[in-house]
Structure 1
Amino acid sequence: MIIEMRTYTLKPGTLAEVEKRFGDKLPEREKHSKLAAFWHSEVGPLNQIIHVWTYDSFEQRSAIRAAAVKDGSWPPPIQEFVTDMQSEVFLPAPFSPPLTPRQVGPLFEIRQYTLTPGSIPGLIERWSDKIEGRTKFSPLVGGWYSEFGALNKWVHIWAYKDANERFSVRAAAAAGGQWPARNPPGVVVKQENAFVMPSAFSPIR
């Protein structure tokens, strides 16, 4: 399975209209494949939407997108509001849960780490030892490593009821020795995070 995460930056003040148009068009698009998640940014880079799709392979992705464009079901008419578009393709770590519909939020934290080349396998091994203990505190939505787009990238997404729960969960996990899964010095060269919220039509919310 591959996971495509598409991040669009919008003109300020256009989010509500973009989500409406996206949602109106989605039933047609989902005749070809299902949306996994749709979020918009609350803290971090503002005026962004993130939509996540899963495919069996790159070949299936190309075929589905071509078919959706051909029959007019995609893309939604939002181009006038978009100032930047980014597409990244990830592979799931062995412990990453399936991207099936569920209500675990509504606050999601997307954390993105850039690692030194060749460091992803070691990170996944260290996380594998810790992840069971960490997920007792809050659900993991995804643990993915990049295949296309920005390379040497590790993305992990966590669900919380609100920001207060996020801070209390991280403190409790650290106090109990369940987290974090420590990396050797110098392995992580960049870290970013954002709080996002789901749209009304997001399957994961």
Structure 2
Amino acid sequence: MPIYELATLSTAIGAAPQAASAITAWCGDSGAKGRLLGLWGTDLGALNQVLVLRSFASPEELHAERQRTQASTSPFGGGAWLTAMAQDTYTPLPWLPPVEPGSFGPVYEVRTYVVKPQGLPPLIESWRNQLPGRLELSKLLVAMHTTDGPTRFTHIWPYPSTNDRAATRAGAIKRGTWPPKGGPDNLTGDMRSWICLPLPGSPLT
């Protein structure tokens, strides 16, 4: 099972195009570990942020890359534009296929919830029961939970457009397919969502 890192990079205003080339170079460096999957700029939600999704084959590989980042004087090549950085480690739901590059968007919704203490097992079970019906309506890129810090549950959905996203979500609610029954009971109410667009060099578009 892969390990994912979702890095949230806050940038100077208007710096996303500059950041994209620097990030792809950083992730492709000869000393880098992991595999770059997604590189998105936020369009709705918190602005001036770049989200970087990478996969790692082992905890050791992730740890080595995290050390490289923390030891750098210009992590992600961001010396000129990086204003803040967070790197979160995630485990995917075990029955989901690994994330692979492809053209699935170009609109990606990234939703993150804080999970109540002891709420993760029933939340995962609710997704196991109802996700097949939801997948009849649109593709899920990944659903995953953090392995460090406060327990958060993050899922990423690609759509052809924001209008398609709205119609799909409305259809899922009308059918009773989504949200998963009992799932919201395990969340704290700290819920955030970003609409993101692929940046140049993103393997996911």
Query: Which sections of structure 1, spanning at least 5 residues, go unmatched?
Result: none
Query: Which sections of structure 2, spanning at least 5 residues, go unmatched?
Result: none
Contact 1:109–1:194 (8 Å) recurs in 2: yes
TM-score by length of 1: 0.88
CA distance in 2, matches of 1:50, 1:185: 25
Shift of residue 3 of structure 1?
A: 0.9
Q: 1:93-152 CA distances to partner (integer Å, 9 max, x unpaired)?
A: 123331111111010111111121111110110111111110111110111011023x22
CA distance in 2, matches of 1:83, 1:68: 15
Contact 2:123–2:183 (8 Å) recurs in 1: no
CA distance in 1, matches of 2:185, 2:121: 15
Change beyond 3 A, Cα 1:20–1:33: same
The amino acid that maps onto 1:51 is V
Q: Which moved more, 1:182-191 or 1:192-201?
A: 182-191
Shift of residue 165 of structure 1?
A: 0.2
2:18 corresponds to 1:5: no
- TM alignment of 1:45-124, pairs within 5 A: 45-64=46-65, 75-124=75-124
RMSD, aligned CA: 2.4
2:15 corresponds to 1:14: yes
Aligned residues: 202
The amino acid that maps onto 1:34 is R
- The aligned counterpart of 2:187 is 188
Instruction: Percent identity, please.
Output: 27
Shift of residue 69 of structure 1?
A: 9.5
CA distance in 1, matches of 2:51, 2:30: 16
CA distance in 2, matches of 1:196, 1:86: 17
Q: Secondary structure at the match of 2:165?
A: helix
Contact 2:38–2:52 (8 Å) recurs in 1: yes
- The aligned counterpart of 1:165 is 164
CA distance in 1, matches of 2:159, 2:136: 12
The amino acid that maps onto 1:167 is A
Shift of residue 23 of structure 1?
A: 3.1
Q: Which moved more, 1:13-22 or 1:107-116?
A: 13-22
- The aligned counterpart of 1:175 is 174
Q: 1:35-90 CA distances to partner (integer Å, 9 max, x unpaired)?
A: 121111000000000111111222122235567999x9x84432221111001101
TM-score by length of 2: 0.88
Contact 1:4–1:54 (8 Å) recurs in 2: yes
